[in-house]
């Protein structure tokens, strides 16, 4: 006979008293927490304590779920609906490549600081940098924080050990002389020349260059959209993005999206020689359904393909450095400093926000300053006469 307030209590074949507490379902699946004690009174006391905790938190941690199961649930039901696509992709790759292989079979409620350090060590033992281990730590911390919030964990284990230190970045960028040499060589290439000129002479990000549309190239360069690849959900085939994420479908998995923050949306004056390079390119390039400035065989250019083309062009120009397409921004910043452009204008041109600045480009006074800055910058580039006659592709 069950006593008042005892809930679902029974004695099993081993002689242990078992108590069952019903928990909120996840995805329609029934969830229960089972508590076992040798003494019935001790079990009833613990069940009352846990029931009060359930009432306070809305859920309780259970011992059935593994880290693998939790991480995949978190990616699908939480991360995909709250973070930007590139952030989500980084989370997913970190989970699949590092976290699950190291501790995926561990019960979620059994994860300790030792398990967190096991993930760190597994990464560094592969010869990877501590920055990768730091990223994995941050992903675990974010994910387990949600597990605590949902009542699946009592405490975030990632907060119980120090995060790895960030490794000093080893970035390579083109020097000013190399950038000018590369641009001279690239502009002999009717397929890629205007694209690389835009990257080097505007400080635009890879996706901003690839997503540039004709109607946003006038006397200014409107860098308020970027072209990226977005994964689609397994259920309905829609982009795996938060509900408030702004995007336009282009083709396949490629989408135009807003840059990562409103501070990255920028409009900069377009002056020669880049103005002339883009005008000649658009004059000869075939139209396309998306109004893109740059295409490949009539199709939008994927970010990965652009990076491969960039490295091919670097090699063709005799440059052996390991310079990413994104690092063209670093070269642009160096050249802007070399041209004597003030730091606040450099930050506005390339869309940086490393320190607080007054972003007042909408005022006539600041537009004039930006125009002067771009004219200063452009004087560093001497476009060879042969590029004037090249038919763009």
pLDDT in tens, 121-150: 999 999 888 889 999 999 999 999 999 888
Bigger pLDDT: 262 vs 205:
205
Count of CA atoms in the C-beta half-sphere (13 A) of 186: 27
Looking at CATH, the fold of the domain delimited by 67-160 is given as: DNA polymerase; domain 1 (1.10.150)
From 178-192, 238-252, 336-350, the region with the lowest mean pLDDT: 336-350
Please say if the pLDDT value at position 98 is more than 90. yes
Is the CA virtual torsion 206, 141, 121, 67 positive or negative? negative
Q: What is the per-residue pLDDT for 365? A: 42
pLDDT of 7 reads 53
pLDDT at 368 over 90: no
Percent of the chain with pLDDT over 90: 37
Nearest Cα residue to 162 out of 115, 117, 99, 121: 117
Q: Which CATH class is domain 176-221+262-389?
A: mainly alpha
Confidence of residue 306 (pLDDT cuts 50, 70, 90): very high
Q: 17-26 and 247-251 as β-strands: parallel, antiparallel, unpaired?
A: unpaired
SS3 (DSSP) at 171: coil
pTM over 0.95: no
Query: Is 352 a residue whose pLDDT tops 60?
Result: no
In terms of Cα–Cα distance, which of 315, 325, 263 is closest to 294? 325
**Rounded to whole angstroms, how far apart are CA atoms 23 and 146?**
17
What is residue 4's predicted lDDT score, i.e. its pLDDT? 39
Give the pair of three-digit tokens for residue 184. 């001279």
């Amino acid at each position: 006979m069950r006593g008042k307030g005892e809930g679902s209590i029974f004695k099993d074949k081993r002689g242990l008293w078992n108590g069952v507490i019903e928990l909120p379902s996840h995805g329609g699946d029934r969830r229960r927490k089972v508590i076992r004690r040798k003494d019935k009174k001790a079990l009833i006391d613990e069940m009352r304590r846990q029931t009060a905790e359930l009432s306070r938190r809305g859920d309780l941690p259970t011992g059935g779920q593994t880290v693998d199961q939790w991480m995949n649930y978190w990616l699908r039901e939480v991360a995909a609906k709250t973070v930007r696509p590139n952030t989500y992709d980084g989370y997913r790759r970190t989970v699949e490549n590092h976290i699950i292989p190291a501790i995926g079979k561990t019960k979620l409620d059994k994860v300790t600081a030792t398990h967190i350090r096991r993930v760190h060590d597994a990464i560094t033992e592969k010869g990877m940098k501590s920055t990768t281990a730091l990223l994995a730590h941050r992903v675990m911390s974010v994910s387990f924080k949600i597990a605590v919030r949902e009542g699946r964990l009592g405490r975030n284990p990632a907060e119980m050990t120090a995060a790895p230190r960030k490794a000093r970045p080893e970035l390579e960028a083109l020097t000013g002389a190399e950038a000018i040499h590369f641009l001279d060589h690239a502009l002999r290439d009717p397929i890629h020349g205007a694209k690389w000129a835009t990257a080097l002479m505007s400080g635009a990000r890879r996706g901003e260059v690839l997503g540039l549309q004709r109607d946003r190239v006038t006397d200014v360069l409107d860098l308020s959209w970027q072209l990226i690849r977005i994964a689609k959900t397994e259920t309905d085939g829609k982009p795996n993005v938060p509900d408030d994420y702004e995007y336009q479908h282009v083709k396949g998995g490629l989408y135009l999206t807003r840059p990562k923050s409103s501070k990255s949306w920028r409009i900069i004056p377009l002056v020669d020689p880049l103005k002339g390079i883009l005008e000649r390119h658009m004059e000869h390039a075939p139209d396309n359904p998306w109004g893109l400035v740059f295409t490949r065989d009539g199709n939008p250019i994927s970010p990965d393909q652009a990076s491969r083309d960039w490295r091919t062009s670097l090699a063709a120009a005799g440059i052996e450095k390991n310079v990413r397409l994104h690092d063209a921004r670093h070269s642009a910043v160096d050249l802007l400093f070399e041209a004597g452009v003030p730091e606040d204008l450099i930050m506005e041109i390339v869309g940086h926000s490393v320190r607080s600045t007054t972003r007042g480009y909408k005022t006539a006074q600041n537009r004039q300053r930006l125009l002067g800055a771009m004219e200063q910058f452009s004087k560093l580039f001497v476009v060879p006469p042969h590029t004037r006659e090249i038919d763009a592709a």
